[in-house]
């Protein structure tokens, strides 16, 4: 009987020792792996994102003209924030078209100013009024969304409240040729309204000068 008690005691001791060991290891492990970042009110951190790294294109300018394999493109980018990701994506796609329209207006004006330097000053004032009409009549044609990146961001709203929102970055491109054709068609409409041959001749020279910049 005494022998059985000793065996039982030994088993019980071994069980209690292993239980204590496992518990202590678990606690040590918990202390090592648990890293809670303390955040202040107003601070933000990314808790989820579409790709492991932020793509390089997300840092590109909002409007640019680039060459890809010998072909020119107008490339635009927008960065939108909203509480709902789908809403942010819809807003971003609408803003891409707006960004192209705004960018092409600026492009028409800058090309016009450069070409105007070689034009007869007699007509420079009337030409300035024409370019505004052209800039407003260059439609967005063939714009394609090429890239999307998003982040889910946590923001500490107050000591006891956390809020989340999404940041969506989209990029799209349009063949430069589409822009140039639309611009030249707008100029054709202006040319039809000019009454004197001399003014029409000078304007044609200006338009050809603008076209020469398309090849750069």
- The alpha helices in 117-196, defined as continuous H runs, are 124-135, 176-192
54-102 per-position pLDDT tens digit = 999 999 999 999 999 889 999 999 999 999 999 999 999 999 999 999 9
Question: Is the Cβ–Cβ distance between 108 and 134 less than 8 Å?
Answer: yes
> How many Å apart are CA 143 and CA 127, to the nearest integer?
29
Residues of the chain with pLDDT under 50: 1-3, 16, 19-36
3 state DSSP class of 42: coil
pLDDT of residue 125: 81
* Contact by Cβ (8 Å): 186, 137: yes
Phi first, then psi, for residue 151 (nearest 5°) are -135, 140
């Amino acid at each position: 009987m005494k022998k059985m008690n000793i065996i039982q005691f030994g088993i019980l001791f071994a069980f209690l020792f292993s239980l204590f060991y496992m518990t202590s290891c678990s606690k040590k492990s918990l202390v090592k792996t648990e890293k809670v970042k303390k955040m202040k009110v107003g601070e933000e951190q990314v808790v989820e994102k579409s790709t492991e790294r932020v793509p390089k294109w997300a840092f590109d300018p909002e409007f640019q003209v680039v060459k890809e394999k010998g072909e020119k493109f107008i490339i635009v980018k927008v960065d939108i924030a909203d509480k709902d990701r789908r809403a942010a994506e819809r807003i971003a796609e609408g803003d891409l078209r707006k960004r192209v329209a705004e960018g092409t207006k600026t492009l028409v004006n800058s090309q016009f100013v450069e070409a105007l330097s070689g034009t007869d000053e007699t007509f420079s004032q009337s030409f300035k009024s024409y370019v505004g009409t052209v800039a407003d009549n260059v439609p967005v044609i063939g714009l394609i969304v090429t890239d999307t990146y998003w982040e889910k961001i946590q923001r500490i709203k107050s000591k006891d409240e956390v809020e989340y929102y999404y940041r969506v970055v989209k990029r799209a491109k349009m063949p430069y040729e589409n822009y140039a054709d639309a611009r030249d068609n707008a100029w054709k409409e202006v040319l039809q309204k000019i009454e004197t041959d001399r003014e029409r001749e000078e304007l044609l020279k200006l338009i050809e000068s603008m076209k020469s910049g398309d090849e750069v």
